[in-house]
Structure 1
Amino acid sequence: MTTVEDALTRAHRTRNTFLRITDERAAAVVSQGPLAGMPFAVKDIFDVRGTRTSAASRVFDDRPDASRDAEAVRRVTAAGAALIGKTTMSELAYSGLGVNERFGTPTLSRAGREHVVGGSSSGSAAAVRAGVVAFALASDTSGSARIPAAWVGVFGFRPSLGRYPSDGMTALAPTLDTAGLIAARLEHVEAVDRILGGDPGPAPEVPVFVVPHEEYLSGCDGDVLDRFHADLARLRAAGFRVAERRLESLELARRLHRLHVPIVESEAYAAFGRYLEEPDLLSSQVRRRLERARTRLRQGSADPLYGSVSSLRRQFRRELGNALLLSPATEIDAPAYDDVRASAEAHDEVNARALALTMVLSYLDAPSLVIPFGGGGLPRSIQVSGASGWDGRVLRAARQLGAAPGLSETARHW
């Protein structure tokens, strides 16, 4: 494991990843506890005592320094982890791409071009991917931990709502917001989950998996689907039961999201819409989304979604039975930074596609783990999800996948 001193050195060498590096705090850590000496970072929506929580936005330029740590930060530091710093993000956590006009955008170089790492927890994923930290606290409302994890090839976990403490977190859409994790190894996810969420429960029998009907995945790029089907074939060859099933709850949640004002848009506008009247305060991307929300709210509301989420979650649980869901994390691979910046239309279209699959699972309160699934070339991953409250089952299933014979060297070292 990277030492605290090495982590601090690497953090100072990163570009567009950290907003603040907490040298003195990291150096003073007492290396005892279940996370003893483990370097970690936090997305800048979590309060850290003595620092300003900015959510990477001018909106909070005048916010005073936090007087205490967010509860999630307090728990992991009490367990011995060393806080290296606070990471950058999409402004206000309101984008799936990780672009930030003010603080810079983390990117990864591939084939001679810079690609975005995804958002909104972009800096958290970049810090883990670069080997600076073992794990990072993120958030996940519509996919903010899972998308960047998938695009950089690390683990990303969205727990069930309420499993992790939210005290001291700046909210975007409280109905769907949750703290999340991005980590280099599955054992790090498991260790931090025990600190934040408690006992994951008994290990299940060999899991049964279902995949959505092909029509539900028709929006995916061909390369994404090809890799997904290849990974399913590897799982079947390793002895896992994987069946295709039409899950009406997935399709209904997506249909309602498209027909009505999304919950995230409604709640983000309630929280930040007033800043539209202040010129140059918001980035162009956030301003467009808030303006679109204002227009849509004049014509409709999110009430049909609020009224449906409980029944959708019950239906999803019934349709799964004793199975877990396998799906791609996103419809697309990480786009090139220049392509995202080509026009407002290009940015917004790519952002919508990035969020399309993860957003549906957020409505269903499905604990979901993005697993890097080995292989060369582009980072490849698969997403394992369960019904609300099945966090332990999802994590245990990931452990069983990693132990299966015939999978890649990467998988077997989870």
Structure 2
Amino acid sequence: MSHRIALILMAAGDSTRFCASANISLKKQWLRVGDKPLWQKVAEDLSALYPFCQTLITASESDFCYMQCVSPFPIIKGGATRAQSLRNALRRVDAEFVLVSDVARWCVDRAVCERLLACLGDPDFACAVPFVSVPDTAFYQGTYLVREDIKLIQTPQLSHTQTLRDALELGDFSDESSAIHALGRRVEFVLGSARLAKLTLGEDLRGAGLLPPSGESFCASGFDVHSFEEGKPMVLGGVRIESPLGFKAHSDGDVLLHALSDAILGAMCAGDIGQWFPDTSEEFRGADSAKLLAHIHAYARSVGFEVRYVDITILAQFPKIAPYKREIQENIAALLALPKSRVSIKATTTESLGFIGRKEGVAVSANATLGYIRWDRILDNEERL
């Protein structure tokens, strides 16, 4: 008998322990496995086990918009806790039962899932969870425990949807089974698997057997134009330019860094700088564009991308760019943690044609090449991210 079951994958964590343990900014749910982020691989692997009527993935507030851009599955904005994220997702579930798992348990075990599904034959079914036993002597607060009585609970966990909703009204819980147990309903235990161990620390990658990221490159361009404004400092590529004119803009008007930001966002398929820092927001009035670029660069790394090369062309009749090219190159290299050999700065005039030729403003065309961060090299000590 086929039941209507929804799948919820929890991926809204901030990976604090993982990042700290490996001294990296790449969040574990964004580890690229081949050419897919880990959350997508886990969702697809679980989806292959059963014809789920819905598949929902929770995302942190910072990842929500980007995941919507790139995910083949519906994305739900998470909350401050796992339980709140789950509540948010359950509002979208219209199935009688729901299977909930964590992206950190990246390895899917068919046998465990089949044991969970077999529990649905009970007319009073509320929740079924996998567990593993404790092989070692256990000591807790001055007492030796009977290890045969200890169960380490894993995910995925299968629950009756409305029962789980009701249980989560009682408060925040670390998993579904503890919430349903607090509600006074019976929890069924099935044999779990060592393969379902969580990916928690960077060292857990060792021996995990995850496919390293592909060597694919992603190239995109960005283009921006700003007119001049009297009485405002001119900043180009994060460098102060001697000029009586600055750029008319909501921020500091650094047309070069705006174009470069768009190129990086484009290579990630992450929208444009106007979406990230809207000119309708007072928060970004007069903003330092170098800080905006640094934010975009840090986010790119947190979701698994590194900038490998940038190529920038400045179109300006005024001011003269040649005296500043090297300083601009060095500044951008520092902002993106790149060697100067991977930052190309070119400048040209428009032979006095058009608004640039009339010295009314400056345009910049930027190209960026990105690739996946090679997290597998962390284990080989070949590079630190």
TM-score, with structure 2 as normaliser: 0.23
Decide which structure has the larger Cα Rg and report it: 2
Which one has a larger percent strand, Structure 1 or Structure 2?
A: 2
